[in-house]
Amino acid sequence: MQQSDHSLKYSLSLLEARPESVELARLYSDRAWMQWYVGDYDTARSSAEKAIELAERLNAQDIVADSYRILGVVVRPRDPKRAMEYGEKALKIALDNNFLEVAVPAYNNLAISLPIREWRRRLECFEKGHELARRIGDIWNQCRIGGNLAYVAMWSGNTDKALSLAEENLALARKAGHLSNISLGLSRVGYAYLILGEWEKSERCMQEAVSISQHSGDFQQISHSTAGLGWVLLSKGEYGKAAESFEQLSGLLEKTEAERDLVTLRMMSWLVAAYIELGKTEKADSQIDILRKTAIETADELLIVASDTLKAMVLRAQKKWDESIKLFEKSLQEWEALDARRWYGYPFARMGLYEHARVYLERDQEGDRGKAHSLLNQALEIFEKIGAKKDIEKVIAKKKLLTA
């Protein structure tokens, strides 16, 4: 990545000394995308804006569309609403002018920028982009969007489909030699194995994904795969190592605007649970406050429900039963309002239901066992549908406590 940026800078110095050209506009656009990958958001934004300004003067509408797509990705951490507007604009220009090679990634980036409540439209954009990528032979974006489709499938409960799709896209990425998509594919396969309870396989996938992304300097995939590895360690009960992953990721993100990137924050937010399990509730509270601040500023509903659920878990660990239950009940309403059972089933069952049941089991007052039983049964139903073996075992173990 660094060597490529040196080459781009050299090419820019040559073209900027000449009359304005489409080639210069394209180079600005390419540099914006590259700088986003390595986490240099300020340079990426500036380059994308230069590309748009120059391309519009030259009426190079394909570059205008692609640069709006990139700009949407770059501003997403600070301004999700504007990111969506840029994504809509990029896709419209591409489709109106039949710029299919631009439309493919525009579908993908718009899907990621859409509000959580628009999960149906998000899925539709992913599917259209994936099909179009197949049709025009865009292998890179076929792997990219296919990986995102696998992600959607696994969280919504279709784990077998997710694993099959993730493995298919990983094989395609390996054949094409696309390091970024290999890392993405490995993390997607790793998440599928995580849900299925194949923790050792999951950890190997995540570790390889981290290694490849670090070697290539792909900031985006470093953050995603590090979060994935943290999830595996959290699931295995290796809370100290999971907390270390969280701290590494936080340190990486705080150097860039990616500290506010909603996609990354949603993925890493649950790693705060490691602090809770370790009894480090002050550290957990501090991180939850940071998450909540960003959630409110960006009006991101999924990050808000994550913050509320995690705070309820902290209160449970502090044995503040009544406060914990009140906040768990509030967060459960938030989960249901987002229709999380349908499209975000695994995290909802694991955090919204199973963790909720724990507070009743630990308080164990009159009526608490019945409430815990209801929550555990709901979680079990989702886990059985998904095939989450380890989570099924945990729920059954908790249910046995109710009859002890």
Query: Is there a domain that residue 30 lies in?
Result: yes
Task: Read off the pLDDT of each residue in 170-183 and give the average, rounded to a whole number.
Answer: 96
Q: Helix/strand/coil (H, E, C) string of the chain?
A: CHHHHHHHHHHHHHHHCCCCCHHHHHHHHHHHHHHHHCCCHHHHHHHHHHHHHHHHHCCCHHHHHHHHHHHHHHHCCCCHHHHHHHHHHHHHHHHHCCCHHHHHHHHHHHHHHCCHHHHHHHHHHHHHHHHHHHHHCCHHHHHHHHHHHHHHHHHHCCHHHHHHHHHHHHHHHHHHCCHHHHHHHHHHHHHHHHHHCCHHHHHHHHHHHHHHHHHHCCHHHHHHHHHHHHHHHHHCCCHHHHHHHHHHHHHHHCCCHHHHCHHHHHHHHCCHHHHHHCCCHHHHHHHHHHHHHHHHHHCCHHHHHHHHHHHHHHHHHCCCHHHHHHHHHHHHHHHHHCCHHHHCHHHHHHHHHHHHHHHHHHHCCCCHHHHHHHHHHHHHHHHHHHCCHHHHHHHHHHHHHHHC
Contacts of 121-124 with C-beta under 8 Å, sequence gap 24+, read: 122/152, 123/152, 123/343
From the list 186, 187, 180, the residue with the least C-alpha distance to 215 is 180
Checking if the pLDDT of 330 tops 80, the result is: yes
In a domain, 382, yes or no: no
| Number of domain units in the chain | 1
Q: Let me know if residue 66 belongs to a domain.
A: yes
Give the CATH number, domain containing residue 67. Answer: 1.25.40.10
pLDDT bucket at 6, cuts 50 / 70 / 90:
low
User: For the chain, how big is the Rg over CA atoms in Å?
Assistant: 22
In a domain, 17, yes or no: yes
Categorize the per-residue pLDDT at 36 as very low, low, confident or very high, splitting at 50, 70 and 90. Answer: confident
Q: What is the pLDDT of residues 105-131, one digit of tens each?
A: 999 999 999 988 898 999 999 999 999
pLDDT band at 172 (very low <50, low <70, confident <90, very high): very high
Range of the domain at 58: 1-113
Distance CA 333, CA 135 (A): 42
Q: Return phi, psi of residue 188, to 5°.
A: -65, -45
Burial class (CB in 10 A: 0-12, 13-18, 19+), 231: buried
Q: Is residue 132 part of a domain?
A: no
Question: How distant is the alpha carbon of residue 64 from its chain centre?
Answer: 27
pLDDT interval class at 1 (50, 70, 90): very low
The confidence band for 256, taking pLDDT boundaries of 50, 70 and 90, is: low
Put simply, whether the predicted model's pTM sits higher than 0.95 gets the answer no
Query: Phi/psi zone of residue 193: left (φ > 0), alpha (ψ -120 to 50 degrees), beta?
Result: alpha
- The span from the CA of 275 to the CA of 284, in Å, is 5
**Domain-located, residue 353:** no
Mean pLDDT of the chain: 91
pLDDT in tens, 259-291: 556 777 887 899 999 999 999 999 999 999 989
Q: Is 81 a domain residue?
A: yes
- Residue 304, domain member (yes or no): no
